[in-house]
Amino acid sequence: MLESTHTYQVIIPYSIEEVWQALKHAADLDVAGGQEIVERVSDAEWTTALDERHSTRCTAAYDEAARRMDVTMDSTAKHENDTTSISLASVDAGTEVTVEQTVRGNFVVMKMLQLVGVGALDKVAGSIVSNIEALCSGGETRRMSTEDLEAYAKERVADWGKD
């Protein structure tokens, strides 16, 4: 089983309390990039689908004291779960957001990892952070599509010959 863990860190200009409240809307953060929500049980439990045969049950768990959210993604297509953890730390400029992604077989992301390396995980983590910022500012979140990820892969593959 292929597994990759990647950490993405960024500081955003919102208080830790604002960001923590945004994390309470985990289903809106797009942690399973490239997959559409097909069933939303709550903000902390939902199901996404890559296609008609493969779905992923996502469940968020919160550690208030540590200011950490862990999302477990249980796919019908594999035996191991993927996880995305988001940790917060207060800093002078706002909040440091750390997104740690452990991928074990998410078809779209694993395909991207094989083609373009950790840049694909950065793309998904960047989308998560953009959605956190949108929730903090009262804006609308945006889900990445499979087409977004495929376009990124094509762009990266095209760049390989230019180095």
Residue 112 · residue 120 · CB < 8 Å: yes
Q: Is 124 helix (H, G, I), strand (E, B) or coil?
A: helix
Q: Is 77 helix (H, G, I), strand (E, B) or coil?
A: coil
List average pLDDT for each run of 10 residues in the chain, which is 163 residues long. Answer: 82 98 95 85 92 88 98 81 94 97 70 64 88 96 79 69 57
Q: Which domains does the chain have, with CATH numbers?
A: 4-160 (3.30.530.20)
Q: Give the global pTM.
A: 0.83
pLDDT at 104 (0 to 100): 77
Residue 84 · residue 71 · CB < 8 Å: yes
